[in-house]
Amino acid sequence: MPAAERVPLRSVTVWLLLQSLLLLASCLPSAAAFPKGCYPSDEEGLKTFRCSNARLTEVPRDIPNDTNKLFLDSNRIPFLPRDAFRDLPLLLELDLSHNAIASVESGAFRGLAEHLHSLDLSSNRLVSVSKDAFSNLKAKVNLSNNPWLCDCRLQELIRTVDLAAGSSGGIVCHSSAQEEHVGKAFLQVIADTDFCNVYKKTTDIAMLVTMFGWFAMVISYLVYYVRQNQEDARRHLEYLKSLPSKQRRSEESSTISTVV
């Protein structure tokens, strides 16, 4: 074949190869859209998105919405805002362990109630979390290795969530109103102590003390008022006695009727 005919053929071949590469690239997710250190994979037939040890300081926004397993462990995430995972309707497992999470807003897991079956929040900085943050969540939850404050709020939370097997022993009192509870497993403590009942009793006593204080103030005011009126009436009667008899009798009758 003449050289003049081979050049166009070679150009066509290169052009077709480039077109094929562009078509293939358009069918694949762009790695540039993912945060540094994050990547998708397919594990045992489940769509997985891994961001372990990626130095993240917040939950990424560009997570594929068909993700089944999400790993955000070993990062620097400090809190979970409302609707943090609302665009992940197919999420089955969520690993948030070994972060710096100290706050979980109510509604942070909204949209995950129907499918999520595993939530790992172990080894974070959780001290106190409202039970509403886990409202309607059916997942097995791991709350171990956090600096928990043992009080009524934690007791209500533990009663609300379904703890992951073997994780309950790791929920330890880092602080408590009663010093003897510190360092003990929370489930061991509430076997003998009802924090919410203690709180209710304390509240009731405070209300009784407040009511007694108000009652004492009212009684004191009434006594003062009666004594003050009696003193005013006595002075007025003494004044009337010093008046001429006719005027005195008239004003005495007026004073007596007023007092009565």
What CATH number is associated with residue 105?
A: 3.80.10.10
Q: Which range among 26-30, 105-109, 166-170 shows the weakest confidence by mean pLDDT? A: 26-30
**Is pLDDT of 244 > 70?**
no
| 1 domain-assigned | no
Give the mean pLDDT of the chain. 80
| 250 domain-assigned | no
108 and 229 both lie in a single domain: no
Which pLDDT does position 35 carry in this prediction?
85
225 vs 37: which has the higher pLDDT:
37
Predicted TM-score of the model (pTM)? 0.66
211 and 89 both lie in a single domain: no
136 and 157 both lie in a single domain: yes
| 185 domain-assigned | yes
103 and 185 both lie in a single domain: yes
Can you give the residue range of the structural domain that contains 75? 33-192
| 12 domain-assigned | no
87 and 198 both lie in a single domain: no
Query: How many domains does one find in the chain?
Result: 2
130 and 159 both lie in a single domain: yes
66 and 103 both lie in a single domain: yes
Which pLDDT does position 158 carry in this prediction?
94
Q: Alpha-carbon distance 100 to 4, whole Å? A: 68
178 and 49 both lie in a single domain: yes
186 and 221 both lie in a single domain: no
DSSP bridge pairs for 103 = 79
Tell me what percent of the residues of the chain surpass a pLDDT of 90.
57
Which pLDDT does position 79 carry in this prediction?
96
Work out the average pLDDT over 24-28. 48
Count CA within 13 A, CB hemisphere, residue 18: 6
Which pLDDT does position 74 carry in this prediction?
98
| 10 domain-assigned | no
- What pLDDT band is residue 114 in, cutting at 50, 70 and 90? confident
136 and 109 both lie in a single domain: yes
89 and 62 both lie in a single domain: yes
| 75 domain-assigned | yes
- C-alpha pair distances (Å), 120 with each of 63, 102, 243, 247: 18, 14, 93, 94
219 and 165 both lie in a single domain: no
- What pLDDT band is residue 19 in, cutting at 50, 70 and 90? low
Which pLDDT does position 259 carry in this prediction?
43
Q: Alpha-carbon distance 42 to 25, whole Å? A: 18
Which residue has tokens 């945060």? 35
| 258 domain-assigned | no
Which residue has tokens 């999420």? 91
